[in-house]
Amino acid sequence: MDSITSYGQPSLPRVMISLVTWFTIAIAFVIVRLETAYWANMVIVTVIIPLLVYYLGSNSIILSLSVPSAMIVVTVAILSLVTLTEGFKLRKLRTYFKEYGKNMRDTTITTLIVTTALMFGLTVAYLISGGELIDFD
């Protein structure tokens, strides 16, 4: 019960673990594109990614969101990123998105920015919904 607050909604640590898991999967898919030892890619693709997907399927906050909450999260996230790339004209961020996956450092930065945008969207959805994010039906 420690991962769920008293009124049935997720606690902050559970939300953060869920987002970190998504981030880890995104980075794992990039790592396998790098020139690494075959066994490292084999372990990532055969063990790490499947276990993370399994974990997300049974514990993820993102997968448990109600439809309106999910729409708010992704809408706020994409509008935040558009504001950064178009409003503030962050050309480097545009390049990071255009060349996503080519360079590990730039891809990690981009993934962190996307994760931050999703966290911001989750916060907005939480505030709009009065804390009722999860669809228990």
Output the pLDDT for position 7. Answer: 52
Residue 118 is assigned to a structural domain of this protein: yes
Output the pLDDT for position 38. Answer: 81
Residue 48 is assigned to a structural domain of this protein: yes
Burial of residue 51, with CB atoms counted within 10 A of its CB: 0-12 exposed, 13-18 middle, 19 or more buried = exposed
- Total domain count, the chain: 1
Average pLDDT rounded to a whole number, residues 29-47: 81
Q: Does the pLDDT value for residue 34 go beyond 80?
A: no
Burial of residue 114, with CB atoms counted within 10 A of its CB: 0-12 exposed, 13-18 middle, 19 or more buried = buried
Residue 135 is assigned to a structural domain of this protein: no
Structure-token match 């558009």, residue found? 82
Strand partners, 134: 65
- Residue 133 CB contacts under 8 Å (≥ 6 apart), including other chains: 9, 10, 61, 65, 66, 69, 122, 125, 126
Secondary structure (3-state) at 54? helix
Residue 18 is assigned to a structural domain of this protein: yes
Residue 2 is assigned to a structural domain of this protein: no
Q: Decide if 51 contacts 83 (C-beta within 8 A).
A: no
Domain residue limits at 26: 12-129
Output the pLDDT for position 2. Answer: 43
Q: Band of the pLDDT at 117, cuts 50, 70, 90?
A: very high
Q: Decide if 126 contacts 133 (C-beta within 8 A).
A: yes
Q: Does the pLDDT value for residue 92 go beyond 80?
A: yes
